[in-house]
Chains A and B, each alone.
Chain A
Amino acid sequence: MVDELDQLFDAARPSVDAAAAPQPGDDEINARIVGESLRQWQVGAVAVAATLTATKAATATKAATATKATTGGLGLVSKLVLASVVVTGGGAVAVSLATSEPSEPTPAVVETTSTRAPIASAKAKATPAVAPPVAEPEPEPAVEPEPEPAVEPEPSVEPLPDPSPTKTLSAATMLERANRSRSAGTHATAVTQYRAILRDHPGSREASVARMSAAELLLKNLHKPGQARRMFRAYLRHDPNGNLAEEALWGSARASRALEDPAGERKALGKLLSQFPSSVRAGPSKSRLEALESNE
């Protein structure tokens, strides 16, 4: 019987081997898969960074609390800012500990986003932190003022969500929620949640990922190429040398194609070719540019 199993494997082998052979159009598929994987990898990296910084913050809080207990016991200070720790890197964390009396419980504020300003509720609880000021990033406009060709097929303005429910959430949490919505197939909700990240945490790393995720959903699933293109272009404006710049250019070209805007498509493809000449998308970009030129 075992021999018969080997015979079955032998019989199946040509079909199995043939399946592995490269096929026309694979370059396009591979490029898409790589782009999406990089994007999801970045989402994961952001989440890990948030976890790490939260852990660091918790450790710092513990250490500071211990210090406070010691100094309180000695009665050396009545009003003292005990610790201010700023951890920079994958995402910044500011931990501010302050006491009004040594015997009072120590309030701790932990931010798990990178460069955003402290949230209002946290500000109210904490005494002024000693942490160095962080640059307030330029807020993302709800509707970018970029001109759109006349062929725009759908309304460009989508109502933004009510800011109150997510105002106090960290960018990482919001991103996680949006990703869950996307995985569940509720694409419109996911886009709304991604946009909420752009609104609440405009300069964060999560915002960069959210922008690309929203753009992809708008283009592929919600069939709104105009809005998608604005998102792709916004990514390139905010993060011209970002890890996903190639995907953004490619997305912008695809969106322009969907909008029947050959000039926009040519421009995006040209940029892609000049900035990423050895990319796996270089071949498809060249072919598409040639096709566009021959159609002129």
Chain B
Amino acid sequence: MATILYLARMPLSAAYGSRETDFHVLASRTALASSDHASHVPGAQRGDATAMRKLLEGLAPIILGTTRQILGQREDAEDAAQEAMVDLARSIDALREPEAVVAFARRLTTRVALRHRAKRTKYGERAAGLADDDATVAHVEPSFGIAEQQAERLRDHIARLPENQAVALVMQHMLGYRPAEVAQATGVSVNTVRSRVRLAREALTRSLAEDGAFDEARKSEAS
């Protein structure tokens, strides 16, 4: 069980992109973990509290890990994980394919975490606006390294995208799901997922360019 949980927790994002072989290995591991969680889904859907507990206990590390991927190592990652898990418990009836429970949980979690992130970013901007009208978007801890700062900035900009686009983008680019898996978890067609990701990338590129993020990335690479 511990091994399965560990595998399910493994971020798939490292395998995203051209490394198709790695991706498939990791995806099959996720499927293995999913089948374990999936066994509790029918019971949970019937309202069996023991099955629901087992399902939530199995998914808790995955949900918490996902919120941290989007929110970083902060306290609100726990709040978001809590909210996402309640959402999951209450909407488990909507899951048609028990095998997709992990992707389903991560989709719900991504949505909740992005909302937390958007709220935090807005709050940060308002706070910054009081002190400096010229304050720009990114609100990052000065103690962070360059990579962490870039990650934070990227997360902030993603959180400003329309929710459906942001969820599709995060699931594909940060959590490592394939478009077909994102489609299964979000209940839309693969073409819709591709379209959402394309729109998200375009909007994200514009917004990062306006914020000077690419310039800074170039500078940091040069130095």
A1 touches B90 (CB 8 A): no
Which residues of chain A have C-beta atoms less than 8 A from B30's C-beta?
A: none
B147 touches A14 (CB 8 A): yes
Identity of the chain A residue whose Cβ is nearest the Cβ of B56 in the assembled complex? A34
A131 interface residue per 8 A CB criterion? no
- As a 0/1 sequence over residues 228 to 271 of chain A, the CB contacts with chain B under 8 angstroms (1 = contact) are 00000000000000010000000000000000000000000000
B57 interface residue per 8 A CB criterion? yes
Which residues of chain B have C-beta atoms less than 8 A from A7's C-beta?
A: 217
CA distance A38 to B213 in the complex (A): 42
- From 99 to 151 in chain B, residues with beta carbon under 8 angstroms from any chain A beta carbon are 147-148, 150-151
CA distance A44 to B14 in the complex (A): 38
A16 touches B151 (CB 8 A): yes
B214 touches A20 (CB 8 A): no
Identity of the chain A residue whose Cβ is nearest the Cβ of B92 in the assembled complex? A41
Contacts A21-B65, A33-B78: A38 and B49 contacting too (C-beta < 8 A)? yes
CA distance A15 to B9 in the complex (A): 15
**How many B residues are at the interface, by size bracket?**
35 or more
- From 1 to 43 in chain A, residues with beta carbon under 8 angstroms from any chain B beta carbon are 1-2, 4-9, 11-17, 19-22, 26, 29-31, 33-34, 36-38, 40-42
B82 interface residue per 8 A CB criterion? yes
B96 interface residue per 8 A CB criterion? no
Identity of the chain B residue whose Cβ is nearest the Cβ of A279 in the assembled complex? B57
B160 interface residue per 8 A CB criterion? no
B166 interface residue per 8 A CB criterion? no
B43 interface residue per 8 A CB criterion? no
B25 interface residue per 8 A CB criterion? no
A29 touches B64 (CB 8 A): yes
A3 to chain B minimum Cβ distance, whole angstroms, is 10
B101 to chain A minimum Cβ distance, whole angstroms, is 15
Which of A9, A15, A20, A280 has its CB near the most chain B CB atoms (within 10 A)?
Answer: A20
A208 to chain B minimum Cβ distance, whole angstroms, is 12
Contacts A5-B201, A9-B173: A37 and B56 contacting too (C-beta < 8 A)? yes
Contacts A8-B217, A37-B85: A17 and B14 contacting too (C-beta < 8 A)? yes
Contacts A30-B64, A38-B53: A19 and B73 contacting too (C-beta < 8 A)? yes
A40 touches B217 (CB 8 A): no
- As a 0/1 sequence over residues 147 to 189 of chain B, the CB contacts with chain A under 8 angstroms (1 = contact) are 1101100110000000000000000011000000000000000
A160 interface residue per 8 A CB criterion? no
A38 touches B82 (CB 8 A): no
B11 touches A16 (CB 8 A): yes
B89 touches A5 (CB 8 A): no
CA distance A31 to B60 in the complex (A): 8
A247 to chain B minimum Cβ distance, whole angstroms, is 10
Which of B60, B148, B173 has its CB near the most chain A CB atoms (within 10 A)?
Answer: B60
Which residues of chain B have C-beta atoms less than 8 A from A8's C-beta?
A: 150, 154, 208, 213-214, 217
A45 interface residue per 8 A CB criterion? yes
- As a 0/1 sequence over residues 50 to 81 of chain B, the CB contacts with chain A under 8 angstroms (1 = contact) are 10110011001101111011001100001001
Which residues of chain B have C-beta atoms less than 8 A from A15's C-beta?
A: 72, 147-148, 150-151
Our pick among A16, A17, A26, A38 for the contact of B89 (Cβ within 8 Å) is: A38
B146 to chain A minimum Cβ distance, whole angstroms, is 8
Contacts A12-B147, A243-B49: A34 and B173 contacting too (C-beta < 8 A)? no
Our pick among A17, A38, A42 for the contact of B13 (Cβ within 8 Å) is: A17
A31 to chain B minimum Cβ distance, whole angstroms, is 8
Which of A6, A19, A26, A243 has its CB near the most chain B CB atoms (within 10 A)?
Answer: A19
Our pick among A1, A11, A29, A33 for the contact of B147 (Cβ within 8 Å) is: A11
CA distance A97 to B205 in the complex (A): 66
Which residues of chain B have C-beta atoms less than 8 A from A44's C-beta?
A: 89-90
Which of A1, A31, A42 has its CB near the most chain B CB atoms (within 10 A)?
Answer: A1
A239 to chain B minimum Cβ distance, whole angstroms, is 12
Contacts A2-B205, A11-B217: A280 and B82 contacting too (C-beta < 8 A)? no
Identity of the chain B residue whose Cβ is nearest the Cβ of A30 in the assembled complex? B60
B151 touches A36 (CB 8 A): no
CA distance A31 to B58 in the complex (A): 11
A274 to chain B minimum Cβ distance, whole angstroms, is 17
- What 5 new A-B contacts, CB under 8 Å, besides A15-B151, A19-B73, A34-B56? A12-B150, A16-B151, A17-B69, A19-B65, A37-B82
CB-defined A-B contacts under 8 Å, sample of 9? A9-B173, A13-B14, A20-B66, A26-B61, A29-B64, A37-B86, A37-B88, A38-B89, A41-B89
